[in-house]
Structure 1
């Protein structure tokens, strides 16, 4: 399981396993209406025995709510997953596709939550689709002001950083943890310019691909609910490649591409 993340709420969440049990999914009229837009709800199975979703019951910052999807060692391969926040203006936060080196899945990232909502993950495996999630108390995340000056955000847009962590041993082989951060304002379209008070046009990363060498680790199709300056921390089986290769495309047509050298390959 991930030992730490960039933000305090997830650190606290990881420190006590009981927290995750305090905010299970709740009955949702919204999900009853929209669920079948994403998947055949009648066929979805309980994901409790396949993976765990961690998210705070009451978010410290609605614009950067930490989420972690975690499997136990030896768990079946999750080849893709949807992250859905029922009450957000655009409920589908992200659609992920995973390479085999990500199994067992151990992925953390940050999302915006606009009002009290279920946050659910629907994972797809060879045995069907499974759902788990958490209820999160947060409000205003999609319209919260950006943390950086707009010009500075544009000037640094596309910069990428890599952080690596200790290697761990598992039944699936030697695994490593890495964290990738991408500078991008990820404007939701619901935020206002603090000077003009006009709405800022939506501008966000809509596709992200992360490879180690030529092998895909994961691909994300994202929406307005992925937080500003997206950060992804993940565990993976090292294939010996010297670099991560990252490709990020945004809704303005920009393509950001960079190879980040693994210190572990030095």
Structure 2
């Protein structure tokens, strides 16, 4: 009887937690978005985006400084030309603007962001038929001020190193593949403190990125302080047969990093 009673208590305690982890987290009303909407979109009024693409992000982030956001096309007839990622309650809400080449259709794209407090993470997509918006509400705090994972000197020494991973083999009928690109960069937000001096570390982040396979554009990104340290991008693409990816990144200090990576790298 005691064992049954203990099991019942454990089940009763665990159920709300399990429910919370699996709950859907749609966008909620946001005064911040109302105030900033015109500055970001101008006169554009995006339609409901759930029928065109989906956005996946955790309801409760495990690490507020590295929150995965997955944007996946759900309407096969749409062509998503670009997306704008906005984190309503971040100090600099406009996280990234990403434009896509033809090889990225249908879109399946993941990036990682910082979330500074409980906030909507919204994505506005520009398509061949208009603009659409959807997103997720994420519970996280302190992502923009979280300490960097490396000593500043070590982080700067490794800055600009790049790594490519490929996943699986191409499907013969469509030549679709999946890849991940990681770029070493502290992406300082300007809100983090040096753990020795306790002074704020000046903002220093990748603000421009271009990724190509051979000569063909895959995507470009204009980014801000909300992109995570050591940015990671995972995406599906149509393989054009070129042997390499060419990646060019520029940061706010004017540093330019370029690297050509062979597609033979495997996950």
* Alpha carbons of structure 1 residues 64 and 79: separation in structure 2 relative to 1, 3 Å: same
Measure the CA separation in 2 of the matches of 1:163 and 1:126.
31
1:31 aligned partner: 33
TM-score normalised by the chain length of structure 1: 0.89
For 1:32 and 1:48, locate their aligned partners in 2 and report how far apart those are by CA, in whole Å.
Answer: 20
CA distance in 2, matches of 1:43, 1:190: 32
Task: Provide the rounded CA distance (Å) in 1 between the counterparts of 2:138 and 2:46.
Answer: 22
Residue 143 of structure 2 corresponds to residue 134 of structure 1: no
TM-score, with length taken from structure 2: 0.89
Give, in angstroms, the shift of residue 75 of structure 1.
3.9
Gaps of 5+ in 2: 1-19
Q: Please say if residues 58 and 138 of structure 1, whose CA atoms lie closer than 8 Å, have aligned partners that are also in contact.
A: yes
Corresponding residue for 1:104?
106
State the shift of 1:168 in Å: 5.0
Cα distance in 1 for residues equivalent to 2:70 and 2:76:
18
Spell out, residue by residue over 1:12-53, the C-alpha distance to the aligned partner (whole angstroms, 9 max, x if none). xxxxxx978610000001111111111146621000011000
Aligned length: 247
Equivalence map 1:142-153=2 (5 Å): 142-153=144-155
The alpha-carbon distance between structure 1 residues 21 and 129, as it changes in their structure 2 partners (threshold 3 A), is farther
Q: Are residues 264 and 88 of structure 1, via their aligned partners in 2, closer, same or farther at CA, if it must alter by over 3 Å?
A: closer
Query: 1:35, 1:41 within 8 Å by CA — same for their partners in 2?
Result: no
1:171-250 equivalence runs, <5 A: 173-250=174-251
Structure 1 partner of 2:64? 62
Provide the rounded CA distance (Å) in 1 between the counterparts of 2:38 and 2:130. Answer: 16
